[in-house]
Every structure is written in C-alpha cells, then in structure tokens.
Amino acid sequence: MEFDAVIFDLDGVICSTDEYHYKAWKAMADGMGIPFDRTINNRLRGVSRMASLEIILEKYEGPALSDGDKQRLAEQKNDLYRESLHEMSTADLPAEVKETLDALRAMGLKLAIGSSSKNTPFILGQIGLGGWFDAVSDGNNITRSKPDPEVFVKAAEMLGMPADRCLVVEDAVSGAEAGHRGGMKVACVGDAAKNGAGDWNMESVRELTDIVKG
C-alpha cells in the first residue's frame, strides 16, 4: 500500500458542524451590529476561533476592542456553539464515512484526527466515534492553526508514522496547504477539491480505499 496511516480533518470531512458554527457566529455578530453572511462564514473554514473573530471584526465599526473584549466575544460564540452541539447525534455521521473508516481499518491502516477544533473530543463522542481513532490531534494540543502543519505533524508523531506514509484528508484549502507543508500527500473533498488543492480531489470519501492502495 502507498500509505500506512490516514489523518482526517473533522469538520466537513467526518461530519459537518458548519451550520452550528454559522448560527453561533451570526448570533454574536448580530449582537455587535456587524454584517455577517455565509460568504464571510466560508472564509472561516479551517481557521482558529480567534483568527475567525478577526475576520468577522473587519466589518466592525464600533469603539476599539481590547484583547480581553475579543476573548469574551470568542467565548460567547463558543458557548453558543457548544450548546448547539448537544443536538448532534450518530445521525450526523454519514453512512459513507463510517463505511469508509471501517474499510480502511480492515485494511490495517492507522487512523487519526487532525482538527483545529478544541471541541473535537465532544463532537466525536456525540457522533459515536469517541475513542475510535488511534490518535486525536486537535485544538487542545496545538498552538498554531492551519495552514501551519502542526496539527498533522503531531498526529503523525502520535501514530509513530513518518510524514510520507501519512495521507491527509481535508475539505479546506488551508488544511490542504497544512498537509503539504507537513510533508504529506493530501486527498480533498468539498471546497478544497473544487479548488484542486489536493494530490487527489474526490467527489466522495469512498474513493480513499482506492487511493491508499496506490
């Protein structure tokens, strides 16, 4: 096989929390009188919470905000988001994703998560994948968000795998860049695939089983 391990981004690949994020940012922005729509929201994909806030604040016209103010706004958004995550269930795990994960595991590959989200463990639990992956590298153990490769490099280290034996699966262009900067090949779905950001640009995660065979 061409690879020994597959490292998955969480949001947009394993499951989708886009709508939960959008509603939480929208509520925070509305409260501040800041214009916010789905076009702006699309710029937040794969970006850390504080970096996302800075993007939203580009259209802010009120009094200057201190670092403490920004931290409170980010926490307000995260509280709204985390509250909504309780609505998630195993129904949020697409059948084709679970089938693909099971097939890859049956092939003997190591499987990991590489996500910038600090809510990763909770989300995995909600969709029935708590403790399922061989390693989870997420916002709780990194200091730099994508396109920095740190989250994927740490996932590979946790798996005990060299970068060139790991395949990254991403839906965001910034995530695909992070994988490449980490010395890994990248298979993309969603926006990243439409932008041709991957070494393979897939219509479905089902294609992974053929890609890893080489």
Residue 11 DSSP SS3 = strand
State the pLDDT at residue 98. Answer: 97
Cβ atoms of 25 and 56 within 8 Å: the answer is yes
State the pLDDT at residue 192. Answer: 95
| Helix or strand holding residue 136 (H, E) | strand 135-137
Q: Is the dihedral of CA 124, 128, 129, 131 positive or negative?
A: positive
Gap between the Cα atoms of 130 and 40, Å rounded: 31
State the pLDDT at residue 184. Answer: 98
As annotated, the residues of the chain forming the CATH 1.10.150.240 domain(s) are: 18-85
Q: What is the pLDDT along the chain (214 residues), one digit of tens a residue?
A: 899 999 999 999 999 988 899 999 999 999 999 999 999 998 987 788 899 999 999 999 999 999 999 999 999 999 999 999 999 999 999 999 999 999 999 999 999 999 998 889 999 999 999 999 999 999 999 999 899 999 999 999 999 999 999 999 999 999 999 999 999 999 999 999 999 999 999 999 999 999 999 8
Q: Does residue 161 come out as left (phi exceeding 0), alpha (psi in the -120 to 50 range) or beta?
A: beta
State the pLDDT at residue 15. Answer: 96
| Catalytic option among 4, 9, 134, 199 | 9
As annotated, the residues of the chain forming the CATH 3.40.50.1000 domain(s) are: 5-16+90-213
- CATH number listed for the domain at residues 5-16+90-213: 3.40.50.1000
How many other C-beta atoms can be found within 10 angstroms of the C-beta atom of residue 197? 21
| Catalytic option among 4, 11, 69, 164 | 11
Class of domain 18-85: mainly alpha
State the pLDDT at residue 22. Answer: 94
Gap between the Cα atoms of 15 and 36, Å rounded: 24
How many other C-beta atoms can be found within 10 angstroms of the C-beta atom of residue 36? 18
Q: Is the peptide bond before 149 cis (omega within 30 degrees of 0)?
A: no
Cβ atoms of 60 and 35 within 8 Å: the answer is no
11 catalytic residue (yes or no): yes
Which phi and psi (to 5°) does residue 141 adopt?
A: -130, 15
Measured at the CA of 212, the angle between CA 2 and CA 110, to 5 degrees, comes to: 90
| Helix or strand holding residue 169 (H, E) | strand 166-170
How many other C-beta atoms can be found within 10 angstroms of the C-beta atom of residue 206? 13
Q: Judging by DSSP bridges, how do beta strands 135-137 and 110-114 pair with one another?
A: parallel
Which phi and psi (to 5°) does residue 137 adopt?
A: -110, 125
Number of helices (H) and strands (E) in the chain: give both, helices first.
10, 6
